[in-house]
Structure 1
Amino acid sequence: MTDDLAALVKALDLPAKVRLLTGASAFTLHPEPAVGLAEMRFSDGPTGVRGLKFSGGRVVSLFPNATLLASAWDEQVAYEVGRLLAEEAAAQQIHVVLGPTINLHRSALGGRLFEAYSEDPLLTGRLAAAYVRGLQDLGIAACLKHLVANESETDRNTMDSVVDEATLRELYLLPFEMATDAWSMMAAYNDVNGVAATEQHHVINEIVKDSWDYPGLIMSDWFATRTAASAANGGLDLVMPGPDGPWGDALVAAVRAGEVDESTIDDHLSRLLLLARRTGALGTPRTWPDDLPAPDSAQRREQLTRLAATGITVLRNEGDALPLARTTRVALIGRHALETIDMGGGSAQVNPPYQVSVATGLADLLGDTVTVTDGVEVRTRPVPPRFLTEVRATLYDADGKELEQRSCPQGTTMIGMDDDFEETVRAVHLTGRIGVTGALELGGLGVGSWTVKVGSQTATYSQRLEGGGFGIEALAPPVRTDRFDATAGDLIEATVEVTGSMGLYGLVGSTAPRTTVEVIDEAVRAAAAAEVAVVVVGLTEEQETESVDKSTLRLPGAQDALVEAVAGAARHTVVVVNAATPVLMPWLSRVDAVLWAGLPGQEGGHAVAAALLGDIEPAGRLVTTFPAADGAAPAWSVTPVEGKLAYSEGTFIGYRGHFAGRAAEPAFWLGHGLGYGKWEYAEARLDSGAVVVRVTNVGERASREVVQVYWRPAARDEPVRLVGWAGVTVAAGDSAEVTVHPDERLWRSWDTAAGTWTRLPDEGGEFLVARGLGDIRATLG
């Protein structure tokens, strides 16, 4: 530690030091005036800076999700996102944003993949490093997560990721190594090779802190720390959240008993003080700007629309069906068109000022040439409906005393997980205005005794938890709806007597369901009457969420049947996939075009519309290989066996395993994306270790190309791997020379027996110049 920080550490006694190493609350750290340490404030941040409340907090900007942003294959985009999130953090006086998530897309079943960049370590690492620079250039700390081998959610708190040393270092640790400029990292929930991630002396001390000479802070994931001495000796610096936890008096006792050396505590504290100094929480307090763009400002609208549209990816475009002409009569079809999914579930959720649907976005550009038709049901659980407005929650204690009132933009409010109200809130009263007329399914979400009223209609019931597991009260609380007849403007009131201490409470509902046959018949009629049918399908936060993995890549409900029926009736069919991760497309050959739109954030509908019409080119490239069928991937299962999840595919995940023949040909390769240009490659050559190629845009529109370079080693036990890429924008008919500088780290191979890095031989290997491995344009020996 530096001399000045050492002096501050020395000024505190042991209990005072240890007190600072556990959070003061869910998202804050203790101040210590004796050394000039102010309160530090953390916030989740994958798709927006939510603030100090897990839910029901302030209104903030909702960004496109990580896979969509990564699909730009553009470090400048990642840097811009980091800067914008730093602004969002500064507006709330947040010192540390808990992101980026840089675990890899090992299996497409992973429920939390939407938060992570890609299946490739180089792509992930370069984008993460740029994002980190963007945040920290404005004095807001980034936090790389989750260290390490945390690629799935099933039994995440107890499962043991079994990973060989070479795979761990070459694949899963590489993004962390590439982004070590980040001022903090977060240790995961899972075990790694039999040792808890929060106690990983080998990973945290030997690799991260010693081998990489990392000076930053390692914090736990929330509630992940299990021990005092083992975690402290294992390299963990900070336990979150607080104020309770396994350290405190137990860690003080462990030091006094000789189980932990006090110098270890001093090192942890020095790292915390360094983080505080870097973020302006140590010494002279930092000043915070007061003129930052509001979440609903014109500036944010432009930024979020552009960022989302740029990552949208053209997967298929037969006969140049896209972009659509502005005079085209369009039948827009699907539940996701009306209720576009803009973010995933769990800790990635924020309260945006609004969410623009594809229906709204396309109508804003095409006016009355668009007809909108609802699609089949896509959920199994009811959610807060967007037809509820003016939703408010009032919290009461056991004596009926009002504790707090909250505005709930999305109809939910969190009690307990991040408040001082865990033991005191005994009732919640929710109200809202209904914006539609007709038969509705309405009710309450959360543990307790409920009374729900709409006009003279009343429903009463009690709800209990039906499952177990960490955080189930917040991540999958019980829910019920009843049928009510409502008129637009009616008031809905609900009161719940709280019987738990940590959970989510809110109003949920939907319009009364119709049969699948009725819905598809209506869609077919609309498609037949239009020039182009645009069908929007996808996943929801039921599949793309923290705490739950998928069991299939099939679209939920009867969405495949909807697409098939529309394709059979329409002159031309375009499918927009509103999902962050791969889905199966059994109808692919029968539609003209497919756009993959990710989870596009609060401006999602405007971004999709801009991409469909070509106002902004959807120049994205896939960041995950799309399997052609369930199970048809090098790594598939995310279910531990006897507590262990074996990473038996080694370094052959995703495209690496497909290319080696360890899984069937995929539907789409990593790096695939057509954009709106057409490209010829020529004059590929090697020049002083770089790969140089001339690309010509032979299409009719200016377009962005992403030249990808892969290395195929001669050794059969080594997978092909992405070693570099470069993007270039070229006008129609023009050419450009593109230079790609391969990253030397991709030639490293970990020698487990010797415990050191060796270099793969160049002899016999070859470079592949490609638009994804399904479209190789040149080979260089």
Structure 2
Amino acid sequence: MTASFDVEEVLSKLNVVEKVSLLAGADWWHTVALPKHGVPAIRVSDGPNGVRGTRFFNGVAAACFPCGTALGATWDVELLHQAGVVMGQESKAKGSHVILGPTINMQRSPLGGRGFESLSEDPVLAGLGAAALVNGIQETGVVATIKHFVCNDQEHERNGTDAIITQRALREIYALPFQLVVKESNPGSFMSSYNKVNGTHVSENPKILGDILREEWGWKGCIMSDWWGTYSTSEAINAGLDLEMPGATKWRGEMLVQAVGVNKVAQHVLDERARNVLTLVNRCSASKIPERAEEKTADTPETAALLRKIGAESIVLMKNEGSILPLKKDKKTLILGPNAKVATYHGGGSASLLAYYAITPFDGIKSQLTTEPTYTVGCYAHKELPLLGNILHTASGEPGVSWKAYNEPPSVKDRKCVDELRLTKTEFLLMDYNPPAIKALLWYADIEGYFTAEEDCEFEMGLGVYGTAKLFVDGELFIDNETTQTKGTLFFNCGTVEEKGIVPVKKGQKYHVKVEFASAPTCKLDQGSNVLFGGGAVRIGGAKVIDAEKEIEHAAALAKGAEQVIICAGLNYDWETEGSDRETMDLPGHMNALITAVSTANPSTIVVTQSGTPVSMPWLSSVPALIHAWYGGNETGNAIADILFGAVNPSAKLPLSFPRRLQNNPAFLNYRTERGRTLYGEDVYVGYRWYEMLDLEPLFAFGHGLSYTTFSFTDLKISTISTTSLSSSSSSSSSEILKIQLKITNTGPLPGAEIAQLYISQEKPSIKRPKKELKGFTKVFLQKGESKIVSIEVEVKYATSFWDEVRGAWVSERGKYGVWVGGSSREGKGEGEGEGGVFEVERTGWWTGL
């Protein structure tokens, strides 16, 4: 990549057409270069939990970090900073100058399809955690893109839904994490959200992009749209949207040139948009990443160790009756469940990527046992059939399938193969598949592989497609997803349902599987307002047909003969994914019945759940121990085993509340779009604020998390420290720091870490406010019997203020404020230790800015 350039000098030399060309992407992942002026193209890449690179299809492997809620569950800004640094290093390996992450939208509901991407239901935990990630990423010279600004909190009709929200809720809950990231880390880029807020799409909303982000917060950077999240020409430019993504442009180009010509867009506004893009490109030169660099891997032992550490420190010990955990390594152990032999390490959509490797829970647990474990699946939990590529091999015996692309359909004799690949994953997203020899949007591919049956059984296969496809077994047409198609939710809602068929197989017999695929233009579905992409997509799945009732009986029988039982349950990237929200909090399939039956058969049953957002647990009272392991990245299985056997003492805390049932959650009546709008009727009472206000006991509270040791909190001290001045954007007359000190002692039998959570409450507010709100936190590691003095500092104005809708400003009211510091949000509810106190604000003051 060229050295840095003088932005103003370059800008002064550009004509209108050149300026306009900068304001939309060149393709999916690159900006437009202007070689004549020394302006290179820069590369961007997903995403929030790893750097995929430029290819959904047949991409280069990468490090997959634990999902957003797992990162939030660490409550450890130093650890997240380290994660950010490695993300930056991974980005350099992929030749990417900009990472499209982290995600800090709020988890209004347990059902949000992308809830797993975000860090927390609380804006302070989300904002400070994301700021640490951004600081780590940008320390490497790579730029972070904070997203999705703002209120992109559901997937249902996300491009058109109108978030109807009070200014108070917008500022105190949904915009606050973005405000904190700007204050604490200054990200180089923002991504606007798909949705509207109070009647106007965010990507063309001057109040949000201009008044709040640029003027009030004083942020200087480049705002890009989410992919196809630009909906206008003049409106978006005038509101402050710098970069339309992806390319080629839909709304800019000649239309924008004309808009400038007739003064719908002023010349100085065009200059400012171009200046912001040029500034981003110039800033990326610090990374020293070559332009359109080759994508490489950066798999190192140091990265693996960090991923394992983050994974283990994100796992929450939810329940541990009788201290049944940690487990013994020499006991007869049964491992079962649909997540046991599958590495469920990421959610779906932008967060999905091909990992360097992925450790299954079974393999991780087995590696730490000194006895051979027993295994059975117990039940299935898939939404779509598991990918068939895991059991297929090519004609030459290599793992996976062969891929052959053609310009002509199978009916053409002697057609010429124009691209040939071997692929291991049988889900193909083809939006970025464009080999030079394919000359048109319409093309074809044959996908072939073989498998050998392990037993006599019925085997079910599935075929989903965006385009058309037929599946053949030993030359016979088995599934026809071409002649008639039924719309489904696959591939960001562009695809069909998964069409299925069952074939009887014989143990030891080899079967030939072939799929004839035709690209997206052949699709017969009415796509409506869906965003259409590239060459289409195809997914091939398969699994042995099981009788759920008999399999559960078999699992229970095995459990009776085991000394300890580990059930690996939960969701996967089919259930939690960009493009669709969940319909229910329930675990899918027969998982609840499996857990109930097995725990009844063996009281020493441990449950490991995996999901990015809450699930219901009707069986909770029947199991003595539960850990929640999220989507844990490459090291998922090892991290789970480290917690189960005590190699790591659990220290994670929940970054979001787990309600007892779906109907209890604050967004229950107002989640999903109705008549084009979503009413944020819970106002500021999101997550724990709602449960505490209604005195409604959640299943597990925000901030909950147990340890194999115990802690005490004593000697709380509260003080305020005056600072010399405020930022120029604030109108408050003084600035003070609230300093909380207390002693934390490890009173238990093992070394461990505890998280001190600082909550503030106003004693006599002039309006209704949450009973208390998180304002700061810190994590401390203590040896057995050790004590340490810890401090939490936060500006008084951030600790005490609410948004005054009459004044259009934050207000810190005079009066007394309660302080609570403990190991959970459940003050007085029997969850660990804590200390409380009071401080006073002497005079009321209003402020804006940072």
Give the TM-score category using the shorter length.
Answer: over 0.9
> Does structure 1 residue 132 correspond to structure 2 residue 134?
yes
Deviations 1:507-566 (CA, angstroms, capped at 9, x unpaired): 523332211111111110111111111111101223211111122211111111111111
Given that residues 327 and 369 in structure 1 are in contact (C-alpha distance below 8 angstroms), is that contact kept between their aligned partners in structure 2?
no
Displacement of 1:494 in angstroms is 2.1
Match of 1:780 among 829, 834, 837: 837
For 1:343 and 1:435, locate their aligned partners in 2 and report how far apart those are by CA, in whole Å.
29
> Does structure 1 residue 280 correspond to structure 2 residue 285?
yes
Displacement of 1:598 in angstroms is 0.1
Q: Where in structure 2 are there 5+ consecutive unaligned residues? A: 393-398, 410-414, 524-532, 721-737, 839-850
Paired residue for 2:603? 571
Code of the residue aligned with 2:72 in structure 1: it is A
Given that residues 444 and 516 in structure 2 are in contact (C-alpha distance below 8 angstroms), is that contact kept between their aligned partners in structure 1?
yes
For 2:476 and 2:502, locate their aligned partners in 1 and report how far apart those are by CA, in whole Å.
10
Match of 2:500 among 468, 473, 480: 480
Paired residue for 2:469? 450
Given that residues 398 and 424 in structure 1 are in contact (C-alpha distance below 8 angstroms), is that contact kept between their aligned partners in structure 2?
no
Paired residue for 1:221? 226
Shifted more, 536-545 versus 435-444: the winner is 435-444
Code of the residue aligned with 2:108 in structure 1: it is R
Displacement of 1:482 in angstroms is 4.0
For 2:449 and 2:375, locate their aligned partners in 1 and report how far apart those are by CA, in whole Å.
26
Displacement of 1:502 in angstroms is 3.8
> Does structure 1 residue 461 correspond to structure 2 residue 476?
no
Paired residue for 2:356? 353
Code of the residue aligned with 1:432 in structure 2: it is G
For 2:208 and 2:421, locate their aligned partners in 1 and report how far apart those are by CA, in whole Å.
43
For 2:795 and 2:376, locate their aligned partners in 1 and report how far apart those are by CA, in whole Å.
49
For 1:362 and 1:4, locate their aligned partners in 2 and report how far apart those are by CA, in whole Å.
56
Given that residues 415 and 422 in structure 1 are in contact (C-alpha distance below 8 angstroms), is that contact kept between their aligned partners in structure 2?
no
For 1:39 and 1:169, locate their aligned partners in 2 and report how far apart those are by CA, in whole Å.
35
Shifted more, 55-64 versus 90-99: the winner is 55-64
Given that residues 351 and 410 in structure 1 are in contact (C-alpha distance below 8 angstroms), is that contact kept between their aligned partners in structure 2?
no
Code of the residue aligned with 2:516 in structure 1: it is T
Deviations 1:443-486 (CA, angstroms, capped at 9, x unpaired): 43314553434446542513465338996465766443442526
Distance 1:48 1:700, change over 3 A: same
Displacement of 1:132 in angstroms is 0.6
Paired residue for 1:616? 648
Paired residue for 1:657? 690
Match of 1:740 among 761, 767, 792: 792
Deviations 1:482-504 (CA, angstroms, capped at 9, x unpaired): 42526477553322233247465
> Does structure 1 residue 717 correspond to structure 2 residue 768?
yes
Where 1:338 maps in the other structure, the secondary structure is coil
Distance 1:443 1:429, change over 3 A: farther
Where 1:335 maps in the other structure, the secondary structure is coil
> Does structure 1 residue 437 correspond to structure 2 residue 415?
no
> Does structure 1 residue 764 correspond to structure 2 residue 816?
yes
For 1:137 and 1:27, locate their aligned partners in 2 and report how far apart those are by CA, in whole Å.
22
Paired residue for 2:662? 630
CA RMSD of aligned residues (A): 2.5
Given that residues 706 and 727 in structure 1 are in contact (C-alpha distance below 8 angstroms), is that contact kept between their aligned partners in structure 2?
yes
Distance 1:507 1:488, change over 3 A: farther
> Does structure 1 residue 492 correspond to structure 2 residue 516?
no
Where 1:280 maps in the other structure, the secondary structure is helix
Paired residue for 2:579? 547
Code of the residue aligned with 1:653 in structure 2: it is V
For 1:81 and 1:285, locate their aligned partners in 2 and report how far apart those are by CA, in whole Å.
20
For 1:452 and 1:292, locate their aligned partners in 2 and report how far apart those are by CA, in whole Å.
34
Match of 1:750 among 795, 803, 820: 803
Paired residue for 2:155? 153
Displacement of 1:299 in angstroms is 3.3
Distance 1:414 1:616, change over 3 A: same
For 1:204 and 1:231, locate their aligned partners in 2 and report how far apart those are by CA, in whole Å.
10
Given that residues 769 and 779 in structure 1 are in contact (C-alpha distance below 8 angstroms), is that contact kept between their aligned partners in structure 2?
yes
Where 2:144 maps in the other structure, the secondary structure is strand
For 1:129 and 1:756, locate their aligned partners in 2 and report how far apart those are by CA, in whole Å.
23
Distance 1:322 1:179, change over 3 A: same
Displacement of 1:3 in angstroms is 11
Distance 1:123 1:326, change over 3 A: same
Displacement of 1:419 in angstroms is 3.9
Match of 2:329 among 307, 311, 326: 326
Distance 1:418 1:456, change over 3 A: closer
Instruction: Using structure 2 for the length normalisation, give the TM-score.
Output: 0.87
> Does structure 1 residue 396 correspond to structure 2 residue 386?
no
Instruction: Give the alignment of 1:67-82 within 5 angstroms.
Output: 67-82=69-84
Given that residues 567 and 605 in structure 2 are in contact (C-alpha distance below 8 angstroms), is that contact kept between their aligned partners in structure 1?
yes
Instruction: Give the alignment of 1:306-345 within 5 angstroms.
Output: 306-345=309-348
For 2:257 and 2:513, locate their aligned partners in 1 and report how far apart those are by CA, in whole Å.
52
For 1:416 and 1:403, locate their aligned partners in 2 and report how far apart those are by CA, in whole Å.
18
Match of 2:751 among 686, 702, 709: 702
For 2:601 and 2:418, locate their aligned partners in 1 and report how far apart those are by CA, in whole Å.
57
Distance 1:642 1:290, change over 3 A: closer
Q: Where in structure 1 are there 5+ consecutive unaligned residues? A: none
> Does structure 1 residue 533 correspond to structure 2 residue 565?
yes
Paired residue for 1:230? 235
For 1:447 and 1:683, locate their aligned partners in 2 and report how far apart those are by CA, in whole Å.
63
For 2:485 and 2:204, locate their aligned partners in 1 and report how far apart those are by CA, in whole Å.
32
Given that residues 190 and 223 in structure 2 are in contact (C-alpha distance below 8 angstroms), is that contact kept between their aligned partners in structure 1?
yes
For 2:277 and 2:117, locate their aligned partners in 1 and report how far apart those are by CA, in whole Å.
26
Paired residue for 1:599? 631
Instruction: Give the alignment of 1:247-326 within 5 angstroms.
Output: 247-280=252-285, 294-295=298-299, 297-326=300-329
Distance 1:244 1:286, change over 3 A: closer
For 2:230 and 2:121, locate their aligned partners in 1 and report how far apart those are by CA, in whole Å.
28
Displacement of 1:629 in angstroms is 1.1
Displacement of 1:96 in angstroms is 0.8
Name the count of aligned residue pairs: 776
Given that residues 62 and 297 in structure 2 are in contact (C-alpha distance below 8 angstroms), is that contact kept between their aligned partners in structure 1?
no
Instruction: Give the alignment of 1:6-25 within 5 angstroms.
Output: 6-25=8-27
For 2:498 and 2:608, locate their aligned partners in 1 and report how far apart those are by CA, in whole Å.
32
Displacement of 1:380 in angstroms is 3.3
Given that residues 466 and 496 in structure 2 are in contact (C-alpha distance below 8 angstroms), is that contact kept between their aligned partners in structure 1?
no
Instruction: Using structure 1 for the length normalisation, give the TM-score.
Output: 0.94
Code of the residue aligned with 1:494 in structure 2: it is V
Paired residue for 1:61? 63
For 1:45 and 1:185, locate their aligned partners in 2 and report how far apart those are by CA, in whole Å.
13
For 1:46 and 1:404, locate their aligned partners in 2 and report how far apart those are by CA, in whole Å.
32
Displacement of 1:573 in angstroms is 1.3
> Does structure 1 residue 370 correspond to structure 2 residue 373?
yes
Where 1:524 maps in the other structure, the secondary structure is helix
> Does structure 1 residue 684 correspond to structure 2 residue 716?
yes
Where 2:753 maps in the other structure, the secondary structure is strand
Code of the residue aligned with 1:86 in structure 2: it is G
Paired residue for 2:111? 109
Distance 1:254 1:401, change over 3 A: farther
Code of the residue aligned with 2:561 in structure 1: it is A
Deviations 1:656-675 (CA, angstroms, capped at 9, x unpaired): 111111x6211111110002
Percent identical among aligned pairs is 29
Match of 2:612 among 580, 583, 602: 580
Given that residues 549 and 638 in structure 1 are in contact (C-alpha distance below 8 angstroms), is that contact kept between their aligned partners in structure 2?
no
Distance 1:165 1:660, change over 3 A: same
Where 2:171 maps in the other structure, the secondary structure is helix
Shifted more, 747-756 versus 127-136: the winner is 747-756
Displacement of 1:290 in angstroms is 9.9
Code of the residue aligned with 2:156 in structure 1: it is T
Distance 1:242 1:418, change over 3 A: farther
Code of the residue aligned with 1:275 in structure 2: it is L
For 1:290 and 1:617, locate their aligned partners in 2 and report how far apart those are by CA, in whole Å.
41
For 2:253 and 2:379, locate their aligned partners in 1 and report how far apart those are by CA, in whole Å.
53
Match of 1:387 among 385, 391, 395: 391
For 2:420 and 2:319, locate their aligned partners in 1 and report how far apart those are by CA, in whole Å.
49
